[in-house]
Amino acid sequence: MADTPGPSTVQLVDVTGTSTLQHGKSEHDIILLSSSVWQQIWTFFAAMVVNGLTPAYLLIQEETEIPNADLNTGNGLMYLFFGFGTLLTQPFALNFGCRPAAVISFFITCFLVLWASFMNTVAEWYANCILIGIFFSTIESLIQLCVTDTKFTHERGFYMGFYTWSLFGGAFLAPISAGFLADTFGWRWINKMYFIVGTVVIIGISFGFEETMFYRHDTVDGSEMLKRMAQQ
């Protein structure tokens, strides 16, 4: 019983030399690896677009009379629905593919971000944040799925770290340009400008973001597979 691996255990190194798996000369002989560059671009600008208004809360409060506490609450609601929204967006990605999920969610989110630049009431702010949380919940789970689809187990740590850097890099760098826009043109231009940036990114990912899921239409019975492995 002690030698039985736990659930989800993945053997990385064949220490005992008992594995019967046949390997190619290189990883390129085994699987066609999808480029992760557009995945990271999507993550970076996605995090930037939805975090632009944070440094302008005091300006928003002054102009719209929406209390700063309500602005923070709305931001909290957005992150709350980033979590619950995956109950809808992740099944969509698994059934229809990661690429359409990435493009559609970013497309809808860009218009929701643009809407936020015209808000004047607490109700509008709450509704906007909740909808962004639902439709853009892909930012919390989609790229992780792409990494597991296209990278070997021993490579996933690096690419997950790359994803994390892109995610937090976009979120933390967004307020820098947002602060400049708020001082120069007013806070309403923050999301208008980020809408333009998001539109450019959507055009890019529409052509560059490759589908990462691979569907096997032909299946082999489990007992037949065991027989083949025994023969090897």
Query: In sequence order, what DSSP letters do the residues of 25-66 get, joined into one string?
Result: SSGGGT--PPP-HHHHHHHHHHHHHHTTTGGGHHHHHHHH--
Q: State the pTM of this model.
A: 0.79
The answer to whether position 121 is within a domain reads yes
Q: What is the pLDDT of residue 94?
A: 87
Q: Determine, yes or no, domain membership for 171.
A: yes
* pLDDT the model gives residue 80: 94
Which structural domain range is residue 173 located in?
34-209
pLDDT, averaged across the chain: 84
Q: 129 lies in a domain?
A: yes
C-alpha–C-alpha distance, residues 85 and 92, integer Å: 11
| Residue 156 CB neighbour total at 10 angstroms | 16
Q: Is residue 221 part of a domain?
A: no
Tell me if 224 is assigned to some domain: no
State the pLDDT at residue 127.
96
Closest C-alpha to 66, from 21, 129, 12? 129
For residue range 9-32, list pLDDT tens digits in order: 766 666 666 666 665 555 555 555
pLDDT of residue 52: 87
Question: What CATH number does the domain containing 40 carry?
Answer: 1.20.1250.20
Kindly state the DSSP code that residue 7 receives in the 8-state scheme.
T
- What DSSP letter does each residue of 67-94 carry, written as one string? -HHHHHHHHHHHHHHHHHTHHHHHHHHH
* pLDDT at res. 148: 82
pLDDT of residue 218: 59
Number of domains in the chain: 1
Question: Rounded CA gap, 61 and 226, in Å?
Answer: 66
Q: How far apart are CA 184 and CA 181, in angstroms?
A: 5
Q: Which residues of the chain have pLDDT under 50?
A: none
Residue 133 is assigned to a structural domain of this protein: yes
Residue 19 lies in a domain: no
| 107, part of any domain | yes
